[in-house]
């Protein structure tokens, strides 16, 4: 779908003042496409990189012409792909462009960093303004890293985290994948030992998902992990990370006090995020859109002053409410049910409250004052609980 940024603004009726938003940059290039990855990414060439930079700069100014006065940007996230493939001066240039075009008060700037990226860039990234790094470690097992198609080793993880500390970074996230074929007690113990040694401020513990269209599906089908084993592994991480002082603030995320990712909280708390780059998604008020996942189609439109979208939705109050609950109930803190009823005052909440009472009676939901949440012991079956509540 081709449209102009002005057509987006025409659908918006922003009432809230002092609205805070996040900015997400999708850098789709990597050295090698991982066999489990379902995001838009591929090994790009120099000309792809330059086309992306030109498109991003134009997209920033295009979107800002229509939307800059509606919110203040306070978080930035560079995701991918492998955005650590960017040069520090390119990061600095993008942040500078963002600040010139939007109202910005940047509290958190995250860069996803793969361990195979040269650590020599780290000081430059720090000086460019990045204050949080998210490392795609995935595992502290060399053989498991190989089965995942990763290019780095366990030693590389330790080395790059040491380099990040030396460069002055005090806010690090470590991504780990769990419930993998062949994972055993030794892998679990190795991961926990790795966390103890590196002491990241946050740990994200993910299970494999959306395998239907990726090569890793074959590996999984040859050695599937039973659901009860997945559950046991997940619960072991819950317990071990709690003992190490990490608080579980979301189904897959644990942080030391004060270090939950501000940008990612915007998704779960259903706050505005503006996405830049091919396949990047945006959400603002009752409007959701996503750029087409194709560098040439995206940049071709952008450089002509247009937007090429794979999704464009004006949400009804009912749809927005369901999306808010689906994301918010992933948080350990849950949602403020009374505030939600005020926010969507035009809706009939009686059917929802009947379902809430039923789910609370069987221990699938907890109600404490105005807060509604999933019990931590039910996080693994969150999708089925939310399905009962919302559909």
Q: Looking at residue 114, what is its pLDDT?
A: 94
Q: Report the percent of the chain where pLDDT is more than 70.
A: 99
For residue 291, give both structure tokens: 């750029």
Least confident of 67-81, 205-219, 281-295: 205-219
Determine the Cα–Cα distance for residues 268 and 146; give it in Å rounded to an integer. Answer: 32
pLDDT digits (tens, 9 = 90+) for 269-283: 999 999 999 999 999
Q: Looking at residue 16, what is its pLDDT?
A: 65
For residue 380, give both structure tokens: 């693994």
Q: HEC string of the chain?
A: CEECHHHHHCCCCCCCCCCEEEEEEEECECCCCCCCCCCCCECCCHHHHHHHHHHHHHHHHHHHHHHHHHCEEEEEEEEECCHHHCCHHHHHHHHHHHHHHCEEEEEEEEEEECCCCCHHHHHHHHHHCCCEEEEEEECCCHHHHHHCCCCCCHHHHHHHHHHHHHCCCCCEEEEEEECCCCCCHHHHHHHHHHHHHHCCCEEEEEECCCCCCCCHHHHHHHCCCCHHHHHHHHHHHHHHHHHCCCEEEECCEEECCCCCCHHHHHHHCCCCEEEECCCCEEEECCEEEEECCCHHHHHHHHCCCCEEEEEEEECCHHHHHHHHHHHHCCECCCEEHHHHHHHCCCCCCHHHHHHHHHHHHCCCCEEECCEEECCHHHHHHHHHHHHHHHC
For residue 79, give both structure tokens: 């995701």
> Is 80 exceeded by the pLDDT of residue 325?
yes
Confidence category of residue 17, pLDDT binned at 50, 70, 90: low
Counting Cβ atoms within 10 Å, is residue 376 exposed (0-12), middle (13-18) or buried (19+)? middle
Determine the Cα–Cα distance for residues 131 and 236; give it in Å rounded to an integer. Answer: 31
pTM exceeds 0.75, yes or no: yes
Tally the residues of the chain.
391
For residue 6, give both structure tokens: 């002005």
Task: Check if the beta carbon of residue 249 is closer than 8 Å to that of residue 259.
Answer: no
Q: Would you give the distance in Å from CA 122 to the centre of its chain?
A: 22
Taking residues 217-236, report their average pLDDT. Answer: 88
pLDDT digits (tens, 9 = 90+) for 96-145: 999 999 999 999 999 999 998 988 999 999 999 999 999 999 999 999 99
Q: Looking at residue 69, what is its pLDDT?
A: 87
Q: Looking at residue 184, what is its pLDDT?
A: 92
Least confident of 154-158, 179-183, 277-281: 179-183
Compute the mean pLDDT over every residue in the chain, rounded to the nearest whole number. 94
Q: Looking at residue 214, what is its pLDDT?
A: 82
Q: Report the percent of the chain where pLDDT is more than 90.
A: 85
Q: Looking at residue 38, what is its pLDDT?
A: 85
Q: Looking at residue 83, what is its pLDDT?
A: 97
Confidence category of residue 6, pLDDT binned at 50, 70, 90: confident
Q: Looking at residue 15, what is its pLDDT?
A: 67
């Amino acid at each position: 779908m081709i449209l102009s940024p002005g057509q987006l603004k025409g659908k918006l009726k922003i009432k809230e003042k002092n609205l805070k938003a996040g900015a997400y940059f999708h850098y789709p290039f990597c050295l090698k496409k991982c066999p489990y990855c379902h995001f838009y990414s591929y090994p790009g060439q120099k000309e792809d990189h330059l086309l992306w930079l030109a498109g991003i700069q134009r997209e920033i100014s295009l979107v800002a012409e229509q939307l800059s006065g509606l919110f203040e940007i306070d978080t930035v996230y560079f995701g991918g792909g492998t955005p650590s493939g960017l040069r520090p001066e390119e990061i600095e240039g993008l942040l500078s462009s963002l600040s010139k075009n939007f109202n910005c008060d940047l509290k958190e700037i995250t860069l996803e960093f793969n361990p195979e990226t040269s650590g020599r860039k780290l000081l430059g990234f720090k000086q460019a303004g990045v204050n949080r790094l998210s490392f795609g470690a995935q595992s502290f097992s060399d053989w498991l890293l190989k089965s995942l198609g990763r290019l780095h080793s366990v030693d590389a993880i330790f080395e790059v985290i040491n380099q990040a500390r030396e460069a002055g970074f005090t806010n690090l996230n470590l991504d780990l994948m769990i419930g993998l074929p062949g994972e055993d007690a030794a892998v679990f113990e190795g991961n926990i030992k790795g966390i103890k040694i590196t002491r990241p401020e946050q740990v994200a513990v993910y299970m494999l998902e959306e395998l239907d269209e990726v090569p890793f599906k074959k590996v999984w089908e040859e050695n599937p992990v039973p659901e009860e084993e997945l559950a046991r592994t997940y619960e072991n991480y819950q317990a071990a990370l709690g003992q190490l002082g990490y608080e579980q603030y979301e189904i897959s995320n644990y942080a030391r006090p004060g270090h939950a990712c501000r940008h990612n909280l915007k998704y779960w708390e259903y706050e505005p995020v503006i996405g830049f780059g091919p396949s990047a998604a945006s959400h603002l008020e009752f409007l959701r859109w996503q750029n087409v996942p194709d560098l040439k189609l995206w940049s071709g439109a952008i450089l002509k002053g247009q937007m090429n979208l794979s999704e464009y939705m004006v949400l009804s109050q009912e749809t927005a409410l369901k999306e808010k609950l689906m994301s918010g109930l992933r948080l350990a803190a849950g949602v403020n049910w009374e505030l939600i009823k005020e926010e969507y005052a035009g809706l009939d909440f009686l059917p929802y409250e009947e379902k809430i009472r039923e789910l609370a009676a069987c221990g699938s939901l907890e109600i404490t004052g105005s807060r509604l949440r999933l019990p931590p012991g039910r996080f693994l079956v969150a999708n089925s609980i939310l399905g009962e509540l919302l559909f």
